Structure 1
Amino acid sequence: MKIAIIGGGAVGLLFSSYLQEENDVILYTRSEDQSESIRTNGIVRKNGEESICLPINVRPISEWDENEIELVILCVKEYMLEEIVKDLSFPKNLPLLFVQNGMGHLSLLNKINTRSLFIGSVEHGALRINNHSVSHTGIGVTKLAILRSVEGDLWILDELVLQSIKNFPAQFEQDYMFMLTKKLVVNAVINPLTAILGVTNGSLLTNKYYQMLFEQLFDEVCLALSLDPHAYYENLVHVCKNTAKNESSMLKDVKNDRRTEIDAILGYVLEEAKRKDIEAPLTLAFYHCIKGKEIKGERM
């Protein structure tokens, strides 16, 4: 399959390195510097002590070309989506797969005029080391679901699932809203708490005071989203334990003075709470904490 991947962050590099093994991948980066680094060095993927280097076709996004592409995977942050969708004007017959955190981008996706639009939920741990290197810090699964599609494009998801390998599995999910909601709950609890406290994911369960915040925020998120806590708590704890040594993506963003995805995560929860006239004081407080850290980063 000929796949275009947009975004040279940790997830974009991870997807490119694995999918290049069975497909013809073109990676599009925001900068020419990153494209040049990958052209020179290939993509270096580290799995623990092991390291593999894969050559790959790479271009800056300014050289976008949709000809002969069978699937586009958008691996950029949620807040970058609107500009990319506007600038690239994807043709209606080009299938798109979005793999963002949160659910704030759903309103944008529903406005995109393409015949097949797929959504992914990425549960892998990944850390970009430099412009051409990524560390696969936690093996998870990529869940794939359909927002809308024509029957003739469904082979694409089948092919991605069939290509699953031990360290990069993929599976199909029937209900995209349930899939995204499970991921949202995980992101809404783990990401802001670890980013504010400056701790790894597992500390939220091993420190009794952090665990109290963990459970209180979880309860409030479920209330705001009208969710049955019993249907989501076990998955949240499982992810937290499975990624115990990892730093969340939001903590990494805060440490590197980058904009976070807090608006797509807790911002979405707050919008739902407001719509239902539900008080969510913890969610609002943690949202403001992260926004404050973003402003601090902008001033440095």
Structure 2
Amino acid sequence: MINRVTSKHWFIAGQGSIGSFVAYNALLSGIKCDQIVRNVNHSKQTWFHPIGKQPTALPTPITSVDITPNSIHYLIVPLKAYDIVPFLQQAMPYLADDAAIILCHNGLGTIELVNDLLTPNMNLFFCTTSNGLYKNKDGIFQAGLGGSQWSHVAGNNPDKLNNDDLVPLFVRITQVDNLQKILWQKLIVNCVINPLTALHNVKNGALAQLVFAEDIESIIKETLLIANKLGVSLELSAMLKAVNQVIANTAENYSSMNQDVKSHKQTEIDFISGYVVKEGLKLNIPTPISLSLYNQIKAL
């Protein structure tokens, strides 16, 4: 009898932290998995450093040259939000007519854009994860094992994947019915921590200082106006608690936006504060705080 889980051949976009985490877990589980890169000559073999175990060399990545057209049935796209659509535009010739695609990134705003690219039989899923992973010149390091939540977000076949398919890849993962609420909770956290730490060039823990309290509450209040108008029920007290908890739990970390700014890389601000501004314009709700943060990050 064919095992439904191990018979799937997964493809992963890139060699980032989350993608390499999934590739490592696939390797352990005997699941066929290939990481796709633009140019194999510019990539190198990635070493994954799991907690409490010896480092493991991940299989050599592949490029589009190695992929047969219409052959990708299962694809995970754990890229920066601004790279999602360009990658999928290039990948379309290689996707099967009934492909299942999982997006995994910070921020909001890609689901609608990707849905416009899909053919009728394709299905789109979204996964949000809190696994503690970081990348340096020696490979991908696992700092902590967090949880992940996922859901079907577009397409006619929500049963194309189930939780058993994803547990071997993400380990602690749960299928949820309230993904939109979870994504907005995470967006609000990102709307606070990412731009503030980038603009002030501080670790996350610095935001616990009293001097940031008013800014933090103002950002949350403004973002909640949009979320609540869109039917996502969240409360100020709960979100203040959630934001402060993340600040405390990640006190010694530099946010991804802080690191991107220092490295002179593109940030995901369009899909964080920029998304709030965009939705505010649609709803005719002013978002001056988010707009100010957006413009300041863009000016760096």
Q: TM-score range by the shorter chain?
A: 0.7 to 0.9
> Which one of the candidate residues 136, 149, 154 is aligned to 1:143?
149
SS, match of residue 59 in structure 1: coil
Query: Which residue number corresponds to residue 179 of structure 1?
Result: 182
> Which one of the candidate residues 264, 283, 295 is aligned to 1:288?
295
SS, match of residue 58 in structure 1: coil
For residue 276 of structure 1, report the CA deviation from its aligned partner: 2.4
2:203 matched to 1:216?
no
Query: Which residue number corresponds to residue 83 of structure 1?
Result: 86
- Report sequence identity in percent: 26
Query: Which residue number corresponds to residue 243 of structure 1?
Result: 250
Query: Is the contact made by 2:25 and 2:170 (CA closer than 8 Å) also made in structure 1?
Result: no
TM-score by length of 1: 0.84
For residue 54 of structure 1, report the CA deviation from its aligned partner: 2.9
Structure 1 residue identity aligned to 2:33: V
Unmatched segments (≥5 aa) in structure 1: 294-300
Query: Which residue number corresponds to residue 114 of structure 2?
Result: 109
Change (3 A) 1:31 1:288: same
Separation (CA, whole Å) in 2 of partners of 1:57 and 1:88 = 19
Unmatched segments (≥5 aa) in structure 2: 1-7, 229-233
SS, match of residue 202 in structure 1: helix
Query: Which residue number corresponds to residue 159 of structure 1?
Result: 165
For residue 52 of structure 1, report the CA deviation from its aligned partner: 1.2
Query: Is the contact made by 2:11 and 2:72 (CA closer than 8 Å) also made in structure 1?
Result: yes
For residue 280 of structure 1, report the CA deviation from its aligned partner: 2.0
Structure 2 residue identity aligned to 1:93: D
Query: Which residue number corresponds to residue 32 of structure 1?
Result: 40
For residues 203-225 of structure 1, the C-alpha deviation after alignment (integer angstroms, 9 at most, x for no partner) is 212x1112332222122221233
Query: Is the contact made by 1:224 and 1:270 (CA closer than 8 Å) also made in structure 2?
Result: no
Query: Is the contact made by 2:152 and 2:158 (CA closer than 8 Å) also made in structure 1?
Result: no
Query: Is the contact made by 1:73 and 1:97 (CA closer than 8 Å) also made in structure 2?
Result: yes
Separation (CA, whole Å) in 2 of partners of 1:150 and 1:110 = 14
**Number of aligned pairs?**
282
Structure 2 residue identity aligned to 1:174: D
Query: Is the contact made by 2:40 and 2:61 (CA closer than 8 Å) also made in structure 1?
Result: no
Separation (CA, whole Å) in 1 of partners of 2:60 and 2:70 = 15
For residue 68 of structure 1, report the CA deviation from its aligned partner: 5.8
Change (3 A) 1:163 1:275: closer
Change (3 A) 1:152 1:144: closer
For residue 57 of structure 1, report the CA deviation from its aligned partner: 4.2
For residue 152 of structure 1, report the CA deviation from its aligned partner: 4.7
Separation (CA, whole Å) in 2 of partners of 1:59 and 1:10 = 17
Q: CA RMSD for the aligned pairs? A: 2.4
TM-score by length of 2: 0.84
SS, match of residue 102 in structure 1: coil
Query: Is the contact made by 1:225 and 1:272 (CA closer than 8 Å) also made in structure 2?
Result: no
